[in-house]
Amino acid sequence: MGDFFQNGVITTFHKLGKLNLRKLETELKEFSNMRKIALILPALYREFEGNALPGIINELRKIKYLKQIVLCLDKANRDQFEKAKKILSPCKKIEIIWNDGPHIKELYKILEENELSPGTEGKGRAVWISMGYILATGQCDVIALHDCDIVNYERSMLARLCYPVANPSFDYEFCKGYYCRVTDRMHGRVTRLFYTPFIRALQKMLGYLPFLVYMDSFRYALSGEFAMRADLAMVSRIPSDWGLEVGTLAEVYKNVALHRICQVDIADSYEHKHQELDPDNPEKGLLKMVIDISKSIFRTLASEGVQFSEGFFKSLSTTYMKIAKDTITQYENDAAINGLYFDRHQEALAVETFTKGINIAGEQFWENPFETSLIPSWSRVIAAIPNFFDLIKEAVKKDN
């Protein structure tokens, strides 16, 4: 059962009672006359070979309120691109950006030559170029995003995500989706065991900082689902690495008043792929994610005027570990009362790995505090290359 408690400094929309999806979608269809809605789907080719994406496409075919759907396809050769187009053909609204296509690659080369790096390949760049394409076509006022590996996807997730930003009677510019990730056990280790204890360790060490209070207000800050106004997408920089979600929240904090930011419960349960936890490989999986997220938050705090010392990061990892270990006990007890499986050893191993990640992030940040993974905003790109929106539309058309 949902609750109606409002916590933190942003508005929370809960799931209360049985959802009337027909009513919600009817209202969204009416809203779309004033605020047209686009959806971004960042996808790897391998997701076309799984069970999740076909189910998502089947659900999207039933939706009437979307004006535009843009799927950005990564890690696909020409044959795979053609297969993907064939699979997507039943859903006529979907436009495909082939991120490995020759004309899109040429655009990335132009950006590099103009010192406007689009970052390394990955979800961040896919989201960024998709936003650029939607802005270039000029058809939509609201841009939503969700992942393509949601096994139990229902179109109600998208409806609830879009509603606060699409409703012309509301004044929200950004909406973050959240959900519960539970099967026979609790998932979401990076959120449960790293992100929240990490933010609270920073608060304990640095004292009251409005940015940290804001970041602690999100129930699932690392979720891949959000909706925003198109004009916000125009001025926002997003990271190209695993810091995408927290980096986006930081940009929203910089550009939007708190009363125009909200979060919404989009699902009773949410199941997607689980990343690997390898304590010895800082270049992939959950350890890489923790390092990138930590550096993103360090960079934002530095821009807010926080001054770090080399010893700070050692103290931070110690403070984090104490809070995280207490958190393990809380979740163990929570699992017990709900009859869920709980592996305390694996939870402790995760905390130890995440502590290692914080230390690595601190060292890397200290060595190069000006390094950034942020891709330039679209307003910056257009200021430097005024015809770039025309180039995007032409590149997508040629690659297709």
CATH of domain 11-399: 3.90.550.10
| 114-155 pLDDT tens trace | 999 998 888 999 999 999 999 999 999 999 999 998 988 999
| 260-282 pLDDT tens trace | 999 999 988 777 666 778 777 88
Distances, alpha carbon 61 to alpha carbons 14, 25, 68, 145, 307, in Å: 26, 13, 12, 16, 51
Model-level pTM?
0.95
Distances, alpha carbon 102 to alpha carbons 109, 389, 395, 398, in Å: 11, 17, 8, 9
Model confidence at 296: pLDDT above 70: yes
What pLDDT shows up at residue 22?
96
For the chain, give every domain's residue range: 11-399
What pLDDT shows up at residue 274?
63
Mean pLDDT across the stretch 318-335?
97
What pLDDT shows up at residue 2?
62
What pLDDT shows up at residue 277?
80
Residue percentage of the chain with pLDDT more than 70: 99
What pLDDT shows up at residue 371?
83
The tokens 């920089």 sit on which residue?
237
Distances, alpha carbon 184 to alpha carbons 29, 187, 235, 369, in Å: 37, 9, 42, 42
What's the rounded Cα separation, in Å, for the pair 380 and 388? 11
Mean pLDDT across the stretch 289-313?
93
Mean pLDDT across the stretch 379-396?
98
Q: Which residues pair with 40 in a beta bridge?
A: 70, 145
Average confidence score pLDDT of the chain: 94
Mean pLDDT across the stretch 61-73?
96
What's the rounded Cα separation, in Å, for the pair 226 and 269? 17
| 81-117 pLDDT tens trace | 999 999 998 888 899 999 999 999 999 999 999 999 9
Model confidence at 1: pLDDT above 60: no
Distances, alpha carbon 267 to alpha carbons 108, 179, 291, 313, in Å: 36, 5, 28, 36
